[in-house]
């Protein structure tokens, strides 16, 4: 037991060596002890592919022509309002502007009256 623990390079190697010894395969036990655990090649390949894709995107330059093509494609996706909807929106905007203009005028006039009374200023 002590001999196996001293030869094991990693915890995973010791586990594999123990399983191989239990199965009676001494060569596999020695190979499992000697070989450290390696990451799966598929994970490393995926990581390299992702990095390469990110680098390609960074280097890729688009010109004004490509930009305008993109704008044209996006403008085709826009759902434009009808004439009836536009007239309704116009009325709502005009009413909101009139309301806020009157509200600001009333507030401004109130402050002017208050300050003129406090300071004794006449106009």
Most confident of 16-20, 40-44, 46-50, 58-62: 46-50
Tokens describing residue 63: 């010109």
Q: What is the DSSP string of 36-79?
A: PP---HHHHHHHHHHHHHHHHHHH----HHHHHHHHHHHHHH--
Expressed as residue numbers, the domain containing 111 is 61-119
Residues 37 and 2 in one domain: yes
> Residue range 35-48: average pLDDT?
70
Residues 51 and 26 in one domain: yes
Q: Report how many domains make up the chain.
A: 2
**Whole-angstrom distance, CA of residue 19 vs CA of residue 25:** 9
Residues 24 and 2 in one domain: yes
> Residue range 62-72: average pLDDT?
88
pLDDT at residue 79, as a whole number: 94
Residues 84 and 106 in one domain: yes
Q: Is residue 85 pLDDT above 80, yes or no? A: yes
Residues 42 and 54 in one domain: yes
pLDDT at residue 49, as a whole number: 82
Please say which residue of 33, 60, 87 terminates a domain: 60
Q: Is residue 78 pLDDT above 70, yes or no? A: yes
**Whole-angstrom distance, CA of residue 18 vs CA of residue 14:** 6
pLDDT at residue 54, as a whole number: 76
115 Cβ contact partners less than 8 Å away, ≥ 6 residues apart:
121
Give the residue, 80 or 13, on which the prediction is more confident: 80
Residues 18 and 31 in one domain: yes
**Whole-angstrom distance, CA of residue 19 vs CA of residue 13:** 10
Residues 74 and 55 in one domain: no
In 3-state terms, what secondary structure has residue 35?
A: coil
Q: Is residue 42 pLDDT above 70, yes or no? A: yes
């Amino acid at each position: 037991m002590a001999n196996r623990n001293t030869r094991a390079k990693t915890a995973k190697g010791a586990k594999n060596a123990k399983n191989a010894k239990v199965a009676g395969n001494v060569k596999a036990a020695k190979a499992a002890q000697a070989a450290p655990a390696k990451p799966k090649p598929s994970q490393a390949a995926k990581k390299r592919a992702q990095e390469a894709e990110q680098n390609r995107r960074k280097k890729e330059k688009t010109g004004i022509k490509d930009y305008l093509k993109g704008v044209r494609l996006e403008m085709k996706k826009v759902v434009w309002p009808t004439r009836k909807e536009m007239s309704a929106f116009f009325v709502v905007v005009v009413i909101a502007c009139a309301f806020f203009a009157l509200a600001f005028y009333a507030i401004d006039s109130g402050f002017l009256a208050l300050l003129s009374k406090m300071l004794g200023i006449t106009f």
